Amino acid sequence: MKKTLLLVMHLLIASAMTSVIAQTFSPEKVYTIVCKPDFNTFMQDKGTGALLLGYEVSGSLWTFEPTENADCYYVKNAKTGNYIQACPDSEVPVTMGTTPVEYYIKGDATGAHAGENFFRMTSTDRTPNDFSEGTIGLNRTGDNTRVQGFASVETSNPWSVWRILEVPSAKQSSLTSPYTGTEVQEGNVYLYNVESGMWLQNNNRYNPELTMQCWTTRGELGDRGLDFQLIALEDGGYQIGPRYTKNNSMNGDGFYFDTNKPVTSWQFTPIAVDGITNAYTIECEFATLGADVNNYLRAVDLGATTWQVVTLEERMQYVQDNASATNPVDVTFLINNPDLSNNNERSNWVVTHDGGNQQWNDFNRFNRHCQVQGSNSVDISQTGITVPNGTYQVLFTGFYAPTGLGALNVNDLNTYKSDGDAAVFAVGYANDETVKLPSVYSLEATENVASVHEKKVGEFYFPGNPDQANGSLGHRLYQTGLLTVTVTDGLLTLGVKTIEGCPATAWTGLSDVKLYYLGENEATRTVDVAITDAGYATFIAPMEAAVPEGVSAYTAEVGANGVTLDLTAVDPIPANTPVILEAAEGTYTFTGVEVPVAESLTFGALTGTYSRIAAPDGSFVLQKQGDKVGFYQVDADVAVPFINEGHAYLTAPSSGVKAFILGDDATGITDIRENLGETIYNLAGQRLSKMQRGVNIMGGKKVLR
């Protein structure tokens, strides 16, 4: 019901997963250099002669060649081969050149800007150059586009502090892919990164290495994938069109989808990779698409740059070939804009509410959610989603609060503690199936975490405003259980809504939907069986069938004496298993999940058939002769009866028995059985003087007469 969110969550969100390196840099490795206050601002060389700043590009990797002096290096761009030139005077731009220039690189060991991987940089030709008062070092220009000389004194000015991180290779020794891929072509396709096993899509991931998170309109790797529109350009490249507003282009500089920058031309270059068909690298003038060791999208070649172009048809074939109840396959890509990202032209979400205020919030950039506050009639939904028929599971990220988030209170918290989901008046739904949304009170955080849960209620903390709700939802702290739904008409409707009893003060929000496919619906089959006044019939079907009320079903074995039938009651009736049915006269319907027909249709003494056949000579068939019902032996010289589809016949060893009579007045068989000297009981446990019509208990076994 409720969960206690411990301090570990605070540590997860607040800490950065950075690589720890010593102050000594290896000349065999490559590094990025970014400005401390904004980890999206990379030092870069584009071959223009200037030391630039901006989003990561191919020219954002650097090597450090040690000199003879301690902590001193030549700083070289791994892409262009150019070196950072001497640090100039204050507010003068830094240049790039072919001549190595020695730089003193000092860890910022004390003060407000101290920390591992944080350094100050200045060329040793300057005086002073020890970062004491008067030192000029590398610094960010005010417009955040270039590096300049500026005051760089230890413990002051964060814009003169640089985070230098080793970038490990993501190259793998061997590669496999579940996809064949296709040649690059115009049209809507998915782009699959082989090394990471992830798809190119819009961003919805929290990256702990960044101080400023990326928007949902930026390219990233993910489990879902986005159907991009490839458009051939005159230079032989392709426009990667994400179908977001503005220029409909994923930019090479920054990977954003919704800017007014010129369209980027991406070159798809075929490459030979063992085990991979239709493999490509994807590059533009200043960026190479690839993955890092943490499976984040990078603009530099870190060894994980193998891509395949995959069509919707191939993705769906993979889904249908692999999905099962034990192996659900993620098909969230079938939903239009499942993470509610902004500026997405696919967005089909419709919001209706009676009163209250609707808001779309993306305070945390990488997450966006829709909320309605102050309404007891809310519906946030997407209809007409085309999907294959079958069984699905749906997971919603969102929550319900009985009041506005600023008005959370101890009384409502205690009500939830006592009533649980009965105190929740909002659900996630898929077609006609529903699941309760989590209550805002279902996660009891023990720590105040900025932009996640800051509202203290009693001894716990909860999201106290829409921005904190966005933070909590962005970290997927509020998710429903898996909702199972069966689709039979190829259409799916998804959403969240309030239900009867919802107070007019309620807050209802949705952030994300995940969809999993479990395979096609199992085929069900129904079979009607008529039982005459004889009270018995035989039956077999390629399905596990529940036994209808008023019917008994038995498998049969010929007893060791050769003259009795030992019966075992079964319910349900196993598929492809012949049985004897006992019931009052009437027609009975058997229903079950159909399975393939078995090679052998014999079980015990019975053999079934799925076609009308002549009964084999010497077998026994269920008949009523005169007023006696039983299994009568077939005599080919007299008459050969037929066994109809879905029924069975009896086989028995040659013991001189001509019939297994089921009536009260049986002659020969009854005498033989009773002369065996065994005690006979009915099903109620009463001792009998002789066998009665129906089921008897002899020697601890059920015997049919």
Is residue 702 within a helix (H) or strand (E), and if so which, with residue range? strand 701-704
Tell whether omega for the bond before 128 is within 30 degrees of 0, i.e. cis.
Answer: yes
210, HSE (Cβ side, Cα atoms, 13 Å): 16
- Locate the DSSP E strands across 152-295: 162-166, 187-193, 198-202, 219-222, 228-232, 238-241, 267-273, 276-283, 290-291
pLDDT surpasses 80 at 659: no
| pLDDT for the residue 692 | 61
Report the sign of the C-alpha dihedral through residues 682, 688, 691, 692, in that order. Answer: negative
Averaged pLDDT for residues 412-435: 97
Q: For 246-275, write each residue's pLDDT tens digit.
A: 999 999 999 999 999 999 999 999 999 999
β-pair partners for 266? 238
What are the respective helix, strand and coil percentages of the chain, to the nearest 5?
A: 10, 40, 50
DSSP secondary structure letters along 305-367: --EEEE-HHHHHHHHHHH-BTTB-EE-GGGSSSTT--TTBTT---EEEESSSEEEEE-TTSS-
pLDDT surpasses 50 at 676: no
* Gap between the Cα atoms of 213 and 16, Å rounded: 12
Secondary structure tally for the chain: helices H, strands E: 5, 56
* Gap between the Cα atoms of 67 and 124, Å rounded: 11
Averaged pLDDT for residues 133-138: 96
Mean pLDDT estimate for the chain: 89
pLDDT surpasses 70 at 519: yes
| pLDDT for the residue 361 | 97
β-pair partners for 119? 107, 162
Lowest mean pLDDT among 147-151, 241-245, 398-402, 667-671: 667-671
| pLDDT for the residue 399 | 98
Percentage of the chain with pLDDT > 70?
89
- Give 22's pLDDT tier (boundaries 50, 70, 90): very low
- Give 116's pLDDT tier (boundaries 50, 70, 90): confident
User: Cα angle vertex 198, ends 194, 201, to 5°?
Assistant: 125
**21-25, 311-315, 550-554, range with greatest mean pLDDT:** 311-315
